[in-house]
C-alpha cells in the first residue's frame, strides 16, 4: 500500500522511495538547473533498505515516485535460526518468521525484544533492544 506520491525534485536525503519496486532510502539528490528548452534533471543516489544495494538513477525533476507505508513494530524473539527468527508481535500476539538484517545477526537471542519493519509486505528485523 502506497502512502503518497512525491516528485524527484522534492526528494530529500532520508526520504524512503520505491525505486524499481524496492524500498530505498535517498542518500543524495543532485538537481541540475533548468535549461533553455528543458526541465531540471535529478541524479538520485539511494540505498535499498533490505539488501543494502546502492542505486543511482537520473530522471527528470517532475518524475513521480511512490513513498511506501513503513510499519515499525516491536516483537519478542521465540527462536533463532541462521537467517531468520520466529518472533511474537507485541501488539497483535501473532507469531511470524522474520529474516534478520546482517548487522544485528549476532545480537538476536531468545527472549530479547526486537524492532522489525514491514514495508510493502516485506519484513525484516532491524534493531535489538
Write the pLDDT tens digit of every residue in 55-106.
999 999 889 999 999 899 999 999 999 889 999 999 999 999 999 888 888 8
- Phi, psi of 103, deg, nearest 5: -65, -25
Candidate CATH numbers 2.40.50.140, 2.60.40.420, 3.40.630.30, 3.40.50.150; the one for domain 71-128: 2.40.50.140
pLDDT in tens, 22-31: 999 999 999 9
Is pTM beyond 0.85? Reply is no
- CATH fold, domain 2-68, is SH3 type barrels. (2.30.30)
Separation of alpha carbons 120 and 44, rounded Å: 21
8 Å CB contact between 56 and 99: no
Amino acid at each position: 500500500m502506497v502512502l503518497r506520491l512525491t516528485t524527484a525534485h522534492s526528494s530529500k536525503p532520508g526520504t524512503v522511495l520505491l525505486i524499481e519496486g524496492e524500498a530505498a532510502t535517498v542518500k543524495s539528490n543532485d538537481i541540475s538547473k533548468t535549461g533553455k528548452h528543458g526541465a531540471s534533471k535529478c541524479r538520485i543516489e539511494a540505498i535499498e533498505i533490505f539488501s543494502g544495494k546502492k542505486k543511482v538513477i537520473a530522471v527528470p525533476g517532475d518524475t513521480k515516485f511512490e513513498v511506501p507505508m513503513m510499519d515499525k513494530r516491536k516483537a519478542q524473539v521465540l527462536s533463532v535460526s541462521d537467517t531468520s527468527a520466529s518472533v511474537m508481535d507485541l501488539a497483535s500476539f501473532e507469531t511470524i518468521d522474520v529474516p534478520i538484517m546482517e548487522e544485528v545477526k549476532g545480537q538476536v537471542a531468545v527472549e530479547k525484544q526486537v524492532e522489525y519493519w514491514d514495508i510493502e509486505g516485506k519484513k525484516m528485523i532491524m534493531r535489538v533492544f
